[in-house]
Amino acid sequence: MFWVTRRYELSASHRLHAPALSEEENRALYGKCNNPYGHGHNYVLEVSARGPLDPRSGRAVDTNRLDALVRDRVLDAFAHRNLNEQVEVFRTVVPTSENLGVEIFRRLREGWSTAFTGEWPKLAKVRIAETPRNIFEVASDEID
Amino acid sequence: MFWVTRRYELSASHRLHAPALSEEENRALYGKCNNPYGHGHNYVLEVSARGPLDPRSGRAVDTNRLDALVRDRVLDAFAHRNLNEQVEVFRTVVPTSENLGVEIFRRLREGWSTAFTGEWPKLAKVRIAETPRNIFEVASDEID
Amino acid sequence: MFWVTRRYELSASHRLHAPALSEEENRALYGKCNNPYGHGHNYVLEVSARGPLDPRSGRAVDTNRLDALVRDRVLDAFAHRNLNEQVEVFRTVVPTSENLGVEIFRRLREGWSTAFTGEWPKLAKVRIAETPRNIFEVASDEID
Amino acid sequence: MFWVTRRYELSASHRLHAPALSEEENRALYGKCNNPYGHGHNYVLEVSARGPLDPRSGRAVDTNRLDALVRDRVLDAFAHRNLNEQVEVFRTVVPTSENLGVEIFRRLREGWSTAFTGEWPKLAKVRIAETPRNIFEVASDEID
Amino acid sequence: MFWVTRRYELSASHRLHAPALSEEENRALYGKCNNPYGHGHNYVLEVSARGPLDPRSGRAVDTNRLDALVRDRVLDAFAHRNLNEQVEVFRTVVPTSENLGVEIFRRLREGWSTAFTGEWPKLAKVRIAETPRNIFEVASDEID
Amino acid sequence: MFWVTRRYELSASHRLHAPALSEEENRALYGKCNNPYGHGHNYVLEVSARGPLDPRSGRAVDTNRLDALVRDRVLDAFAHRNLNEQVEVFRTVVPTSENLGVEIFRRLREGWSTAFTGEWPKLAKVRIAETPRNIFEVASDEID
């Protein structure tokens, strides 16, 4: 199997605040990231797909299709947005990078079979670097 | 003269919107960055000071003093904040990286003589990378 | 004055070979870069413009116009190309990064007054990193 | 087990063109990378080996031996070259990064037992970044 | 499972010298790194923990706790130090990055159950980049 | 004029301690960097030369000559060394990055006229990044 990873950048803002928790608990849990006015990041998103080599093309993944899928399902919806206010799911789910990874994974899987009609490639991993010091990865096993 | 540059990172959110302009003009001018809900960045701030070598210490700038000045005047006020809502000047001034640079320059110059009591070092340049592809620099000549 | 710098990446191939010189001289001068079959790079191009702050927009440079100019005059012509074979000037001029910088400068200056109709901003500097270890800069003074 | 990874850079040119396919199919499949004159990249190659700690040296891999093997089998043959024209296998195989990874893996495995005479370390993974946005990995399982 | 990785930087000096070996063997084995006066690095340390999503916080790892653990057990003891002279274990163990990884792993595991009281997250991997070209990883399986 | 910059990396150790000052003054001035056992860095050295284009070669600087000069005068003497103990001048001069820059500048200037026999290129600037956050530059004007 080959792993093919594409890197994308998206600038967005968010606020970490769990509706189920009190103000005090939120402040204790998220610190500065709980700031009511929100803050933002240049998220670096890496999407990895895996598959065997297609002997015809010498490639494992059609990266044009992958780029189009990521653009349509993720970048167009998230880039230059306020995640809490402008991405439906994050009205009720805290937009931590973990939850962001799950949502991106869900959106890509939803469109996957349209973008890639064969058995391969498969979506393998979503990696989000909120900053270069703070990195989150979720693989296909988690998402079910 | 030596140039000493320190790099800092700060995550914040902003919205580009000029009060003097119409909605249409703002959209045309700032595009996605005019999104009413705002978006954000991991700003990379570089502050450069210049001065001669202090033969006693073998240094041109006391970087502990510079770090403390940047922390007190800039990072504590801007990091993890919504610039439009939480930094006074940006209620009326558009928080472009150019204006952000001017404001940072002003704040550092304001505290400079307290942090550095001698003739040297002097504040030389403020550089802001909104993203790795989008870089803004302002030198002392502009700020008056 | 403010400096605004935009970063672009372009992958291209080239061969360093000076027609005026003998094979031996070319090999001595350019070493491996004289390989007749050529080789290539992910060039990192940085274009810097300088100008005063436009109080209306809070910006010194309309980066949309700059990006369009660089795309139309440089990226569309150079990216994914063989510079020696597919960029007219490099049929006779050696495509060193110095000459590449001069050509890019010329092309940008040529279109500048159409892209930027006012006195400002001015094209200030072109920087080319052939690799992260090998960097070339040319400022407006050289190009005349 | 420990993983030890060494990073190398090599500048080369290539053209993506599958002999079995028509011009139209090639253009559709590879887009700009099908340009007949070729283009190039600064490839970033990472070679990973795994093994237990050698208590005598406190190391898992003799990196001098690994560097020599990579230099002799890969860098000397690929760096500053036109892959299609100057690396035998790519006269008939499309030099995609997937195929480049397979070929590098084959070459390293071929010389491995001469460079490393014991049971360990084993060649574990070859990773190629064609650009920072476009990354290919192949592990030992694929190569047989 | 989610993987959460935090990146830390620490500057330290070391000398590679195996007490069990002769001067000649040490020189042959470690080359310049055997220099009796030592040399140093800006080590980039990445610590990865894995665990399920905590639905209450939307996070898999409390990064404040992880940062505090790494600071208390590793950074305070290693940063700006001479590893051979100032970290007890390296008086007898060669401070290769492999052994450095093992020691960091041991220190983190030692404090883990105090920092993280539940079943999850678990310490998953320690990655040390001695330089950007020279990378060492050790996972939980090795450390027993 | 063109600026040509070459980047080099060197790992070394140092201790910041001014002989003229008391222990207390040294600790206050240099903090952790005064640690008697020393610490180390992966220094990133950038050497910039400037000159006009040589129409014959299409280059402004013969980078092979520059690399050889830097290797002979600087890298061979500093890399994998303890600067305080193994570089003569730093037995009496504090090896701050400012003084390191001055010494590198002196060494390069000393060998310059042998490496570059014409009027151009001239040594323009030495830049040292002790870490990515801590950058020192010295230009030709300072060194006299």
- Whether F48 has a pLDDT exceeding 80, the answer reads yes
Q: Which residue of A has its CA nearest to E44?
A: A133
Out of E40, E86, E131, name the one closest to residue F13 (CB): E40
Please compute the mean of the pLDDT values over residues C110-126 and round it to a whole number: 96
Round to whole Å and give the CA distance between C51 and C24: 47
- Whether D144 has a pLDDT exceeding 90, the answer reads no
Q: Which residue of C has its CA nearest to D81?
A: C39
Main-chain dihedrals φ then ψ at residue B98, nearest 5 degrees: -60, -50
Q: How many CB pairs under 8 A join E and F?
A: 75
- Tell me, what's the pLDDT at C141? 74
Of chain A, the percentage scoring pLDDT greater than 70 comes to: 98
Contact criterion met (CB < 8 Å) for A57 and D132: no
Q: Which residue of A has its CA nearest to D101?
A: A2
Give tens-digit pLDDT for C25-77.
999 999 999 999 999 999 999 999 999 999 999 999 999 999 999 999 999 99
- Tell me, what's the pLDDT at A20? 87
- Whether E12 has a pLDDT exceeding 70, the answer reads yes
Query: For strand A81-82 and strand A2-14, is the pairing parallel, antiparallel, or unpaired?
Result: parallel
List of chains touching B (3+ CB pairs within 8 A):
A, C, F
Round to whole Å and give the CA distance between B26 and B17: 6
The Cβ-side half-sphere exposure at D84, using a 13 Å CA radius, reads 21
Give tens-digit pLDDT for B104-138.
999 999 999 999 999 999 999 999 999 999 999 99
Out of A38, A39, A80, name the one closest to residue B33 (CB): A80
Cβ count near D43 (within 10 Å): 24
Give tens-digit pLDDT for E35-78.
999 999 999 999 999 999 999 999 999 999 999 999 999 999 99
Is chain D in touch with chain F: ≥3 Cβ pairs within 8 A? Answer: no
- Tell me, what's the pLDDT at E144? 59
Are residues D48 and D81 in contact, defined by beta-carbon separation less than 8 angstroms?
A: no
**Chain D contact residues (CB < 8 Å to C):** 9, 11-14, 32-33, 35, 37-42, 79-82, 85-86, 131
How much is the CA Rg of chain B, to the nearest whole Å? 17
**In DSSP terms, which residues pair with F136 in a beta bridge?**
B4, F128
Give tens-digit pLDDT for A74-127.
999 999 999 999 999 999 999 999 999 999 999 999 999 999 999 999 999 999
Round to whole Å and give the CA distance between A33 and A27: 8
Q: Which residue of B has its CA nearest to C45?
A: B133
Query: For strand A122-131 and strand C39-51, is the pairing parallel, antiparallel, or unpaired?
Result: unpaired
Helix-then-strand count for chain B, H and E: 5, 5
Contact criterion met (CB < 8 Å) for D93 and A59: no
Give tens-digit pLDDT for D1-47.
899 999 999 999 999 999 889 999 999 999 999 999 999 999 999 99
Please compute the mean of the pLDDT values over residues D118-143 and round it to a whole number: 93
- Tell me, what's the pLDDT at B141? 74
The candidate with the shortest Cα–Cα distance to B43, out of B102, B123, B5, B97, is B97
Give residues with Cβ within 8 angstroms of E46, minimum separation 6. A135, E5, E6, E7, E8, E125, E126, E127, E128, E129
Contact criterion met (CB < 8 Å) for A40 and B81: no
Between B143 and D113, name the one with better pLDDT.
D113
Between F127 and D20, name the one with better pLDDT.
F127
Which string of b and e fits C114-124 if b means at least 16 CB within 10 Å? ebbeeeebebb
Provide the token pair at E30.
């470690």
Contact criterion met (CB < 8 Å) for D12 and C131: no
Distances (CA, A) of E16 to C120, E27, E74: 58, 9, 20
Contact criterion met (CB < 8 Å) for B31 and C4: no
Q: Is residue D33 annotated as part of the catalytic site, yes or no? A: yes
Q: What is the pTM of this model?
A: 0.96
Helix (H, G, I), strand (E, B) or coil at B100: helix
Contact criterion met (CB < 8 Å) for B80 and A9: no
- Whether A143 has a pLDDT exceeding 80, the answer reads no
Give tens-digit pLDDT for B10-59.
999 999 999 889 999 999 999 999 999 999 999 999 999 999 999 999 99
Q: Is residue F80 annotated as part of the catalytic site, yes or no? A: yes
- Whether F128 has a pLDDT exceeding 90, the answer reads yes
| Run of H or E residues at D51 | strand D39-51
Residue D70 CA, distance from chain mean position: 9
**Chain C contact residues (CB < 8 Å to B):** 1-8, 46, 52-53, 56-60, 63-64
Q: Is residue F33 annotated as part of the catalytic site, yes or no? A: yes
Distance from CA of E84 to the nearest CA of F (A): 9
- Tell me, what's the pLDDT at B144? 60
Distances (CA, A) of F4 to C92, C113, F7: 23, 29, 10
- Tell me, what's the pLDDT at B128? 98
Q: How confident is the model at residue D128 (pLDDT cuts 50, 70, 90)?
A: very high
- Tell me, what's the pLDDT at C112? 97
Distance from CA of C76 to the nearest CA of F (A): 24
Which of chain F's residues have a Cβ under 8 Å away from the Cβ of E42? 40-42, 131
Q: Report ipTM for this prediction.
A: 0.94
Give tens-digit pLDDT for E91-134.
999 999 999 999 999 999 999 999 999 999 999 999 999 999 99
| Run of H or E residues at F73 | none
Contact criterion met (CB < 8 Å) for C37 and D11: no
Q: Return the residue in C1, C53, C57, C70 with the most chain B beta carbons within 10 A, the one to mutate for interface testing.
A: C57
Annotated catalytic residue within C46, C98, C130, C137: C130
Are residues B103 and B64 in contact, defined by beta-carbon separation less than 8 angstroms?
A: no
Please compute the mean of the pLDDT values over residues F113-122 and round it to a whole number: 96
Torsion of CA B83, B89, B91, B94, to 10 degrees: -70
